[in-house]
Amino acid sequence: MAADPARELPPIYVTQPELPPLGELVPLLEEIWERRVLTNSGPLHERFRHAVAGHLGLRHVALFNNATSALIAALRQQGVSGEVITTPFSFAASAHSIAWCGAVPVFADIEPRRLNLDPAAVERAITPRTTAILPVHCYGHPCDVAALADIARRHGLRLIYDAAHAFGVTLAGRSLLQHGDLSVVSFHATKVFNTFEGGAVIAPDETCIAQLDRLRNFGIVDEATIESVGFNGKMSEFNAAVGLLQLRRAHDVISRRREVARRYFAALQTIEGIRPVESGNDEGHNFAYFPVLVDRPYPLTSGELVKNLAGKGIHCRRYFHPLLSDLPLYGGPVDSLPVARWAAQRIVCLPIYPSLGEEAQRRIIDALREPLA
């Protein structure tokens, strides 16, 4: 049987984590080994906390072991209960964090340009039980922060951003993470900036940070005082060490992602039926993902395209399909979210990461251009 050359090519995944040179990690590991402080807000944790805040131009940051626990702590710190309005077009962690706080996620529709919560739909979803809004800056595309802040203020609601995708995103020259009462970012392996696992809450002041720090340390104030039902959400010294090293390259990582995105934008202009979802924030964007909408006259649906590409060793993801509102655990499927459904049926995230070489990208583009070849 003739060998299939495509099968011999290395697989391409939707993302590949960026890592610092191993040699740079060794001195920090030696520090940890010498000190034997492995966790519980050690010196590297504190160094990374200040360094990451400085990098983002922010002042008050609480570090966590991942963004999901950071979201749960943020919602708890803000005292949410009852109903929390969020987007159905997101990763499970957005809705799950609301449920873990004992509140009910209420899904409002998204807008068709950047695929973020539609402020008008949010306003329609408010009931007397609503206590908060949890919008997601999907793919790092900024939500309509002014409209959402206005709604939150007029209705007396807390506004907590799931900014898991938004590390390094700026809006009008300032970090997008400064918006809302609190904002939560992820440092997971698959994100623009990773500490293997990790996350952070950005808060307006030190009082808030002190409460968040206690929530992620069992609610402990001191050896004799435990003030709240906290949990263990602490970032370890190892993850903080990785974070310190990753910060050295964080700007470069985004410019290399921008290059990959630029090549996609150019190539996709000539492929009918595949349209990039643009951020509307080119200068300040982090190119965390490269989402496209697949529609006629393209010969395949998004689901068929993902399978077709996987057969050629190119592993894309349908972030975000299925909709969270369609999950039986959230009472789904529901009929009422037409834009979110439209997007979920068409979305595909193409591979993007700093080390995606031109040759590999050409392979992806050729496969998109001639899906039936």
Residue 92 CB, nearest approach to ligand T4K (Å): 8
Tokens of 203: 């808060």
Binding site for ligand T4K (CB under 6 A): 13-17, 66-68, 90-91, 93-94, 136, 162, 164-165, 186, 188-190, 199, 315, 317, 319
**Minimum distance of ligand T4K from residue 77's CB (angstroms):** 17
**Angle CA 164–169–172, to nearest 5:** 135
- Closest distance between ligand T4K and the C-beta of residue 360, in Å? 14
Tell me the backbone φ, ψ of residue 133, rounded to 5 degrees: -120, 135
Let me know: does 157 contact 130? Beta carbons within 8 Å: yes
What is the amino acid identity at position 26?
V
CB of 13 to ligand T4K, least distance (A): 4
Q: Can you tell me the distance from the alpha carbon of 48 to that of 335, in angstroms, rounded to the nearest whole number?
A: 45
Find where tokens 């439209």 sit: 342
Give least dist CB 327 to ligand T4K, A. Answer: 15
User: Nearest Cα to 117, choosing from 98, 145, 155?
Assistant: 145
The pairing of beta strand 104-107 with beta strand 170-171:
unpaired
Instruction: Compute the CA torsion angle 136, 138, 144, 148 (nearest 10 deg).
Output: -10
User: With b meaning 16 or more CB within 10 Å and e meaning fewer, what string describes 251-265?
Assistant: eebbebbeebbeebe
Q: Which is nearer to ligand T4K, 94 or 298 (CB)?
A: 94
Q: Indicate the residue among 158 and 165 with the shorter CB distance to ligand T4K.
A: 165
CB of 313 to ligand T4K, least distance (A): 12
